[in-house]
Amino acid sequence: MKPKVLVARAVFPETLELLRAHFHVVSNQDDHIWTPEELRSRAAGMQGVFTTGSERIDAAILDACPELRICANMAVGFNNFDVPAMTAKGVLATNTPDVLTETTADFGFALMMATARRMAESEHFLRAGHWDRWRFDMFAGTEVHGSTLGIIGMGRIGQGIAKRAAHGFGMRVIYHNRSRLSADLESACKATYVSKEELLSTADHVMLVVPYSAESHHTIGAKELGSMKPSATLVNIARGGIVDDAALAQALASGQLAAAGLDVFEGEPKVHPSLLKLKNVVLTPHIASATIKTRMAMAQLAADNLIAYLTQGKAITPLNPQVIKS
């Protein structure tokens, strides 16, 4: 009998077709957002679940689904997984690293440019019919080329952004990370390791690419915002909760910080109401990896993990490989 797999959100038809060749599939192509209870009841009796970052896999669902063997996340971030609880229950967790690195780095760079050069604000102005003349200081923003970029979180995506900045835009790149990169990687990225304090007080643009965890919660709060240059910009493409959005809205409103670009939000898809009122923030709906090619590669990798594990006991990108029996 084919193993049973739940696909918890809408996916590409090609992904469903691939999964159906190996599994009995229950899908959610209407893209209902299930409550945790609904997810639990649908996952009961399944051997695999295809998740996205919005489905929480924790002890409650694991207890309700003793037949579950693998949850494959279509995301590189996996803060929706309680990996220790999954490991304790022998459930494999997988994510989708590498396939989205360059696409996400492109977006981080684009969001920094849009923020520094006030692209969203000026576009809204034009669409609203307010443009009646050229002016010497109209939407004058902050320089990108030749300025200093501070990257917090120097994993694969952070390194991709550093290379674009240093090699393409002649930026000086400084970074802060839990562990320092090897000399070879630092030299490939032309990046200098500094303390978080030095990064915040020196950078013209701060980019957040750090994974979310209890430790990285509110990496940027009122105190950190207070130590940045008033002319600086802040970009978050990592996860909501890494920035204290209420404190950020205050800093942007008071002029303590020039501008911000946010692709992720605390409690998304809700956005802090004060951010919505501000002109000096560019807001995008968690789309940093969203190109068709990359989203298809992410879906394929998540599906391939389900197929490899449930048909051959193998995994391609496991987060807790210790549960795989040799």
269 upstream amide cis, omega within 30 of 0? yes
Read off the amino acid at residue 312: Q
Largest CA distance in the chain: 72
Q: Is 124 a catalytic residue?
A: no
The smaller minimum CB distance to ligand GLV, of residues 118 and 295, is found at: 295
Query: Which position among 10, 42, 54, 77 is part of the footprint of ligand GLV (CB under 6 A)?
Result: 77
Q: How many angstroms separate the CA atoms of 297 and 26, rounded?
A: 21
Question: Residue 269 carries which DSSP code?
Answer: T
* Cα dihedral 84→89→90→95 (10° resolution): -50
CA distance linking residue 144 with residue 166, whole number of Å: 11
Q: Which of 164, 239, 272, 295 is catalytic?
A: 239
CA 113 to chain centre: 18
Q: Using the rule CB under 6 A, give the single segment among 69-77, 145-153, 217-225, 305-313 that binds ligand GLV.
A: 69-77
Residues in region 83-112 near ligand GLV by CB under 6 A: 100
Edge-to-edge strand order for the sheet containing 205-208?
Answer: 191-193, 172-176, 148-152, 205-208, 233-236, 259-262, 281-283
One of 28, 289, 317, 320 touching ligand GLV (CB under 6 A) = 289
Q: Does 62 bind ligand GLV (CB under 6 A)?
A: no
Q: Which position among 9, 118, 286, 295 bears the catalytic label?
A: 286
Residue from the set 18, 19, 39, 53 that interacts with ligand GLV by CB under 6 A: 53
**Cβ count within 10 A of residue 34:** 16
Regarding 116 and contact with ligand GLV (CB under 6 A), the answer is no
The residue assigned the tokens 């992904």 is 15
Q: Which residue's CB is nearer to ligand GLV, number 257 or number 301?
A: 301
Return the structure tokens found at 31.
């893209």
- Between 101 and 148, whose beta carbon lies closer to ligand GLV? 101
Q: Note if 268 is an active site residue.
A: yes
Query: How is the beta sheet containing 4-7 ordered, strand by strand?
Result: 24-26, 4-7, 48-51, 70-73, 92-94
Q: Say whether 218 is catalytic.
A: no
Asked if 76 interacts with ligand GLV (CB under 6 A), we say yes
Q: Using the rule CB under 6 A, give the single segment among 74-82, 122-130, 132-140, 272-280 that binds ligand GLV.
A: 74-82
Of residues 23 and 78, the one with the C-beta less far from ligand GLV: 78
The SS3 of residue 283 is: strand
Span interacting with ligand GLV, options 27-35, 75-83, 122-130, 265-273, rule CB under 6 A: 75-83
Give catalytic residues, as residue numbers. Answer: 239, 268, 286
Positions that interact with ligand GLV (CB under 6 A): 53, 75-77, 100, 289
